[in-house]
């Protein structure tokens, strides 16, 4: 077993320095490192918006964001002996936070996008395992750093399938980020014209934003191409389940990973999508609100989880404004980085019930 280091110049964005990273999924992206199963990799990662927000930034920098540059990933990492049909087993040994993080509101982004149409920026000081922000005074959010993005390269056939189904969805009027050369790394126009975006999670993993992918957890990813081509990025200091406003406490970070491999012949079956293992570590007191799928106009929608979640979350925002004296923007940021969305009931037709739960220990 060997230990490898992928070190980045964390004073520069991926858009400025294309070495050792990418922000699109494509099996033709050249690997930055080769390892054998059992090796440990110590990797640097930029924040999920590629250093467009800094400690000196203001709301004007949120207004000027280039979303085509999102998710600068570190990798790909080629795993010797990995073949399609195998299962990559990535143990996350540690995720080390930097000292600065941020959360922002951007029009059109998040579960309550129709209710928040302005820009907002919270800048966090990360120290002693806790995040504090001048924009949310009196609040401390305990950190549990994790990987927002972890995935392997899709095969050419799978990538084409992703593109077809997402183009069909876009044709219905839904907002979908389709392949686009602007902002792409690598910038090769032949590759970037067909490479799929990193925004949605898919069967190859990617932007899953599972807050339990912290140190001590592991991720199992079905291999689709020789070498697997593993990439990681978008580290978060803290996030509630659901990442409700579309953004967690974003940060740069360093992760230590052990790369394992299970061969197809050793497996009783291959999962069709990523799996993960984790341990729950805390017992905390929460306040929780609930929502059912009824619109503001009184229309009852059959088992609409998204609408029920939005209603539960809206109730929690309103509670924090009324009972904790937060502004609506402060409350929305807080629920995104610290509150959990739970599907509490999915069998009592016609209404699914969703709970939004906030740990009370965020209030100092």
Please, what CATH class does the domain formed by 286-362 belong to?
A: alpha beta
| Contact (CB, 8 A) for 213 and 277 | no
Classify the C-alpha dihedral 225-91-335-252 as positive or negative. Answer: negative
| Contact (CB, 8 A) for 291 and 315 | yes
Instruction: Return the domain boundaries, the chain.
Output: 3-277, 286-362
pLDDT tens digit at each of 364 positions of the chain: 899 999 999 999 999 999 999 999 999 999 999 999 999 999 999 999 999 999 999 999 999 999 889 899 999 999 999 999 999 999 999 999 999 999 999 898 888 988 999 999 999 999 999 999 999 999 999 999 999 999 999 999 999 988 888 888 888 887 788 888 999 999 999 898 999 999 888 989 999 898 889 999 999 999 999 999 999 999 999 998 888 888 999 999 999 999 999 999 988 888 888 888 887 666 778 888 878 888 888 888 888 999 999 999 999 999 999 989 999 999 999 999 999 998 877 766 677 778 898 999 999 9
| Contact (CB, 8 A) for 336 and 110 | yes
Q: Give me the phi and psi of 57, to 5 degrees please.
A: -70, 155
Q: Is 347 exposed, middle or buried (0-12, 13-18, 19+ CB in 10 A)?
A: exposed
Only one residue has tokens 């609100």, namely 289
3-class DSSP state for residue 262?
strand
Q: Where are the beta strands (DSSP E) in 111-209?
A: 120-127, 130-133, 140-142, 146-152, 196-197, 201-202, 205-207
Give the CATH superfamily of 3-277. Answer: Acetamidase/Formamidase-like domains (2.60.120.580)
């Amino acid at each position: 077993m060997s230990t490898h280091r992928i070190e980045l110049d964390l004073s520069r964005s991926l858009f400025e320095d294309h070495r050792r990273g990418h922000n699109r999924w494509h099996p033709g992206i050249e690997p930055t490192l080769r390892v054998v199963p059992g090796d440990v990799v110590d990797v640097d990662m930029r924040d999920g918006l590629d250093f467009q927000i800094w400690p000196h930034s203001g709301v004007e920098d949120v207004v000027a964001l280039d979303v085509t540059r999102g998710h600068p990933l570190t990798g790909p990492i080629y795993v010797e002996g990995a073949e399609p049909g195998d299962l990559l087993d990535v143990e996350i040994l540690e995720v080390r936070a930097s000292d600065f993080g941020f959360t922002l509101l951007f029009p059109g982004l998040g579960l309550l996008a129709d209710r928040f149409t302005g820009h907002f920026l919270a800048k966090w000081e990360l120290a002693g395992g806790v995040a504090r922000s001048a924009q949310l005074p009196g609040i401390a959010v305990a950190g549990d750093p994790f990987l927002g993005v972890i995935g392997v390269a899709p095969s050419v056939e799978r990538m084409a399938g992703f593109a077809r189904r997402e183009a069909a969805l876009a044709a219905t009027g839904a907002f979908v980020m389709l392949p686009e050369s602007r902002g792409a790394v690598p910038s090769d126009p032949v590759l970037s014209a067909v490479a799929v975006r990193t925004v949605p999670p898919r069967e190859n993993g990617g932007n899953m934003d599972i807050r339990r992918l912290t140190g001590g957890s592991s991720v199992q990813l079905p291999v689709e191409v020789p070498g697997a081509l593993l990439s990681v990025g978008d580290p978060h200091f803290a996030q509630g389940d659901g990442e409700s406003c579309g953004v967690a406490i974003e940060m740069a970070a360093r992760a230590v990973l052990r790369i394992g491999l299970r061969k197809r012949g050793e497996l009783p079956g291959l999962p069709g999508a990523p799996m993960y293992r984790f341990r729950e570590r805390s017992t905390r007191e929460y306040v929780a609100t609930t929502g059912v799928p009824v619109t503001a106009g009184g229309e009852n929608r059959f088992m609409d989880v998204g609408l029920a979640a939005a209603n539960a979350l809206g109730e929690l925002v309103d509670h924090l404004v009324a009972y904790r004296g937060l502004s609506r923007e402060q409350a929305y940021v807080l629920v995104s980085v610290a509150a959990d969305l739970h599907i509490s009931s999915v069998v009592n037709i016609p209404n699914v019930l969703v709970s939004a739960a906030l740990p009370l220990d965020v209030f100092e």
